[in-house]
Amino acid sequence: MGSGFAIRRLLAPLLLVGIFMMAMVSGQEVSAGGSVPARPGSAPAPAPEPANATASPSTEAPGTSQATATNGDTEGADEDEDVLEFVEDELNMTMGDFNMTMDDFNMTNMTAPTEAPTIPTLPPTSEDGCYTTLDAVYYVISDDDKLFQQKRFVMCPDSVFDVGFLVPGIGIDKGQAPIVPRSNTELLCGEDGKSTNNCIIRGGDFGLIVVPVFFRQDLAVNNVVIKGFTFVGQVQYAAFVASSGDIRFEDCVFRDSANFGTFVMNFDSTLDLSRRLDEDTFKNPWDHVLDYVERYRSGRLPRRLAAEVEDVDLAPQDGVSEYQEERNLQADVFRSLIKDCRFENLQQVERKLGVEFGIFTVKGPDHDIVMEDCTFANNQFGNQELTPIGYAILIQGAKIKLDGLCFVDNDFRGNGVVLLEQTPDPWLGGTDVMDGVYVTEDDDDLDCPFGAWFETDADRRNATFYCVNPTADECGGEHIDIGPRPPLFAPPTESASAGLWSHFALFLGLSCAALLL
């Protein structure tokens, strides 16, 4: 055996592995000249392949080639026996230990998954197939892989969804997440999305919030529909929307709340959303809202890392109005249709920044808004103890169309029910600005019976404006002409004679007080 055996001794482990692999693949043959007896219960080994009957006859002398092959096989067999003896001695194994087939090899734990893993979710639906919690909606909607997929959430009718409040260091406590829609999302109260199905979003800081920093990927929130929800008792804003894109609110009810401003749209295309906020600084409502979002994300809800958004064309949502489709190509503009919504029994509360919102407020030029067939009833914004001003709608710099609105039995103070600051000219724009708007008579606390239009920023600073008349004589009535442009309204000034009389009265009062002393 000499040096040949020494080499085979070094290669014995490799030979062992080779024998094992051959046994795995064939389950039968381990060499060209023999086979391993089958294990009990296994299939019998197939018979050796017969020699080719058509092979050409050998030209060599009979017995010569056969003898050579036989001698070679004998010598090789002796050496193989030596190697196998070494393997058995060193590793205490026999060839019987490798007598197995693929059927005998358990691959259960190595089976590849047949489908991709899904994100963890709360139990999302009832037996009727509708969503029972807003948390479940949030968990599904936060999956970035579904950003460009159409998503439809039907909330269970006759349900109250209690929204929690922000607790620093914890997140949302004692309640559910607010509605946080993303692109290509439709949220319905019941299958038909009707307010009569009675889905109530109750309490919380916000009932609905759309702010890009919730999901860093969302450069815009497009093709969103919110239908049939009732918002009650939010302490900051029932709905705060501050993103480019387009959202439609239909048949929603905002009622029975006292807050800073019920429905606020405040998109600013110049705002740097990437800056880190100082938690103790609240320079404007945006800082306050962004701080809320950062605290919210760092608490109970999972933090999402920044990621680039692929340039993907969004398929328009079924039923999106032509108004929205035409404007989807505009960049850095927020478009919204608010249709068949009701604002009822709402009150205004003071905040550190002062009162600066109406029931419905749009701030900034980067908006294109249509409000259609909505009703404002039994609201009180502004009171003598809190503030001398209060209004239903405040529009600052945005493009707006008011179509078929009704204002019934409200109590407002100041310039008018609706304040339009640097918006399109109501007289030049005609029905593209106001169409069929009705208002019941208020008391004497309003300078204008319906609207006050501030043409320039200087007009706003100087409190000079034009009074705008309603354009319908009944709720849901036909459009009537707005009439001619009135003279510029200016706050009354004290006359010289009135000033003299006031000084005289003050002098007389002081004199009487001196005599009594």
Strand order in the sheet with 151-155: 151-155, 185-189, 221-227, 245-250, 334-339, 367-372, 399-403, 434-435
Binning pLDDT at 50, 70 and 90, where does residue 142 land?
Answer: confident
Q: What is the pLDDT of residue 69?
A: 41
Angle at 302 between CA 296 and CA 307, to 5 degrees: 105
Q: What is the pLDDT of residue 364?
A: 83
Helix 2-26 with 64-91: angle, nearest 10 deg = 80
Q: What is the pLDDT of residue 117?
A: 37
Residues 289, 210: contact at Cβ < 8 Å? no
Task: Tell me the mean pLDDT in the region 172-196.
Answer: 91
Q: Which residues of 68-97 are buried (b: 16+ CB within 10 A; e: fewer)?
A: eeeeeeeeeeeeeeebbeebeeeeeeeeee
Relative to beta strand 171-173, strand 165-167 is antiparallel
Q: What is the pLDDT of residue 3?
A: 52
- Taking the C-alpha atoms of residue 115 and residue 461, their distance in angstroms, rounded to an integer, is 63
CB under 8 Å to 321, separation ≥6 — which residues? 248, 337
Task: For 163-213, give the DSSP string.
Answer: B-EEETTTEEESSB--B---SSEEEEETTTT-GGG-EEEE-SSEEEEE-GG
Task: For 243-259, give the DSSP string.
Answer: SSEEEEEES-EEEEEEE
Q: Which of 19-28, 39-48, 348-357 has the lowest mean pLDDT?
A: 39-48
Task: Tell me the mean pLDDT in the region 11-28.
Answer: 54
Task: Please indicate whether residue 33 or residue 341 has the higher confidence score (pLDDT).
Answer: 341
- Taking the C-alpha atoms of residue 178 and residue 300, their distance in angstroms, rounded to an integer, is 13
Task: Tell me the mean pLDDT in the region 307-321.
Answer: 29
Q: What is the pLDDT of residue 467?
A: 94
Residue 197 has pLDDT above 70, yes or no: yes
3-class DSSP assignment, residue 407: strand
Task: Tell me the mean pLDDT in the region 216-224.
Answer: 79
Binning pLDDT at 50, 70 and 90, where does residue 490 land?
Answer: confident
Q: What is the pLDDT of residue 90?
A: 47
Q: Which of 115-119, 162-166, 340-344 has the lowest mean pLDDT?
A: 115-119
Residue 280 has pLDDT above 60, yes or no: no
Chain mean pLDDT for the chain: 70
Q: What is the pLDDT of residue 211?
A: 80
Residue 512 has pLDDT above 70, yes or no: no
Task: Please indicate whether residue 310 or residue 137 has the higher confidence score (pLDDT).
Answer: 137
Q: What is the pLDDT of residue 66?
A: 41
Q: What is the pLDDT of residue 195?
A: 98
Binning pLDDT at 50, 70 and 90, where does residue 217 land?
Answer: low
DSSP state of 329: T
Nearest to 475 by CA among 436, 432, 441: 436
Q: Is pTM, for the whole model, over 0.75?
A: no
Q: What is the pLDDT of residue 470?
A: 93
- Taking the C-alpha atoms of residue 297 and residue 275, their distance in angstroms, rounded to an integer, is 15
Residue 125: burial class (beta carbons within 10 Å; 0-12, 13-18, 19+): middle
Task: Tell me the mean pLDDT in the region 402-420.
Answer: 92
Task: Tell me the mean pLDDT in the region 373-396.
Answer: 82
Binning pLDDT at 50, 70 and 90, where does residue 244 land?
Answer: confident
Residue 491 has pLDDT above 50, yes or no: yes
Q: What is the pLDDT of residue 343?
A: 97
Sign of CA dihedral 438, 440, 445, 449: positive
Q: What whole-number percentage of the chain has pLDDT above 70?
A: 52
Task: Please indicate whether residue 321 or residue 7 has the higher confidence score (pLDDT).
Answer: 7
Residues 389, 358: contact at Cβ < 8 Å? no
